[in-house]
């Protein structure tokens, strides 16, 4: 899935978050985005997923203008094509690990495909842990659950917001191995927002976001 962003701008009232963001991400490409705190990196990811609106410019995925979709159509598009690893995990505490991972499949009417859930848990190093509740897991394990959930429906585009934040170096390296390995295996594109130099160094392309745009 080719992602093309053209002259994207986002404001909160009269205050610009970012302006004139233009970039393209090709199928199978891993792009890392860095920048100072508060410059709008997470907001840019949310715009890529259609989770946030914007004030100018376009976000187009394989010919689909995301800004032209209504709320229901955008949600359906996102369920089918996008995986999102949130900085705060957003693992639901009242559901066990397997139920959390299977949420994208349930939303697509594929909840019976539990074999894929088990395969995904094996892939992220959590075999046999499907019945565990989130409160019994470490931060690194919760991040792996979030990654498994983002990848279980085999999205064409994976967006990851600080996926190694607050993880020790060893766990962070393993998380990056999982993200890169799984996206490469399925030919997906990966866009990563990070403050981690080691994570950013593994990208095919590194971009710097500023209030005035984005640059190499």
Domain extents in the chain: 3-215
Q: To 5 degrees, how large is the angle CA 194–CA 196–CA 197?
A: 120
pLDDT tier at 25 (50, 70, 90 boundaries)? very high
The model carries a pTM of: 0.93
pLDDT tens readout for residues 29-56: 999 999 998 899 999 999 999 999 999 9
Alpha-carbon span 165 to 183, nearest angstrom: 20
Q: Which residues contact 66 (CB under 8 A, 6 or more apart)?
A: 50, 59, 60, 74, 77
pLDDT at 149: 95
Ranges 20-24, 160-164, 201-205: which has the least confidence: 160-164
| Check whether domain 3-215 has CATH 1.10.3720.10, yes or no | no
pLDDT at 109: 86
Max Cα-Cα span within the chain? 51
Question: HSE on the CB side for 71, CA within 13 Å?
Answer: 1
pLDDT at 76: 94
């Amino acid at each position: 899935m080719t992602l093309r962003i053209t002259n994207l701008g986002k404001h909160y009232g009269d205050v610009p978050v970012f302006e004139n963001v233009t970039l393209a991400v090709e199928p199978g490409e891993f792009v890392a985005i860095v920048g100072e705190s508060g410059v709008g990196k997470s907001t840019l990811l949310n715009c890529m997923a259609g989770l946030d609106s914007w004030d100018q410019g376009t976000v187009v995925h394989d010919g689909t203008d995301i800004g032209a979709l209504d709320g229901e159509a955008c949600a359906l598009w996102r369920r089918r094509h996008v995986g999102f690893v949130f900085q705060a995990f957003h693992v639901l505490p009242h559901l066990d690990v397997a139920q959390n991972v299977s949420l994208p499949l349930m939303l697509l009417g594929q909840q019976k495909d539990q074999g894929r859930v088990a395969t995904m848990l094996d892939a992220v190093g959590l075999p046999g842990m499907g019945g565990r509740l989130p409160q019994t897991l470490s931060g690194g394990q919760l991040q792996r659950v979030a990654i498994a959930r983002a990848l279980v429906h085999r999205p064409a585009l994976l967006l990851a917001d600080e996926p190694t934040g607050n993880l020790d170096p060893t766990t962070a390296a393993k998380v990056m191995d999982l993200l890169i390995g799984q996206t490469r295996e399925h030919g997906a594109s990966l866009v990563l927002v990070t403050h981690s130099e080691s994570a950013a160094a593994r990208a095919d392309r590194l971009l710097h976001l500023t209030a005035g745009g984005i640059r190499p």
